[in-house]
Every structure is written in C-alpha cells, then in structure tokens.
Amino acid sequence: MDTMTPAQRSERMALIRSSNTRPEIAVRRLVHSMGYRFRLHGKDLPGRPDLVFKSRLKVIFVHGCFWHLHRNCTNNRPPKSRLEYWKPKLERNATRDREARQKLRKMGWDALVIWECQIADRS
C-alpha cells in the first residue's frame, strides 16, 4: 500500500520532465552524430514534436511508454491507485498524440514516433 501523502506525491510528480528527458537526449545525440541538424520542441507545430527537420518536413516524437500508452509494452504498467484519474488522463494523451500526427500529415509533414523502450538500452 502506498503511504505517500498527497503533498509528497505532488512533489514527486513535479520532478518528472516533459522535455529533455534521457531518451530524448539519446535520440538527439544519435541523430546529430549522423550529421542531421534539427530544431527542438517545435512550438508552431501540432503536438510540439521533440525534433523538427523543417527543410525535410519531418518530425520525431520521443514518447514515454507510460505517459503515452504504448500498447503491449512492459514499461506501460497501469497505475495501481486512483484509476478514475489516471485512466482518462493517459487516454487523453494518446488521443492527443494521434490527432497531432493526423494534423501534421495534413500539413505535409511526416512523423516518426520513437518509444522509450526502443532506446532504453542505448540511453
């Protein structure tokens, strides 16, 4: 049973990064070492892609398996408590991701999603 107070849980959750995560930095290093240059966190594009290759009309999203509901992944373990809060939140994330990729496609961009578990042993 979880003995954390709501304040402790809030403090712990505040430490989780949304950008510049280890998996994201690992992908950036790899792509840069291959000679590609890119912009970070495209604020003017749907979904704020992690890496933006503007001249090529390509973007890369680096998703955490838990936060973006990577199906059939061992890192995507459902929360044990407060399911009424977490389930809709995580499903909204996955829906928002799909919608962002669809919008990008309509704008002529190609999107690649790299999952945290695909680079876990490389980061």
pLDDT (tens digit per residue) in 33-80: 999 999 999 899 999 999 999 999 999 999 988 889 898 888 777 788
Q: Which CATH number fits domain 16-83+109-123: 3.40.960.10, 3.20.20.120, 3.30.70.270, 3.30.70.260?
A: 3.40.960.10
Structure confidence at residue 123 (pLDDT): 47
> Predicted confidence band at 1 (pLDDT cuts at 50, 70, 90)?
very low
Average pLDDT, the chain: 87
Q: Rounded distance, CA 58 to CA 80, Å? A: 37
CA distances from 30 to 26, 70, 100, 118 (A): 6, 22, 24, 13
CA distances from 79 to 51, 64, 73, 116 (A): 29, 15, 14, 18
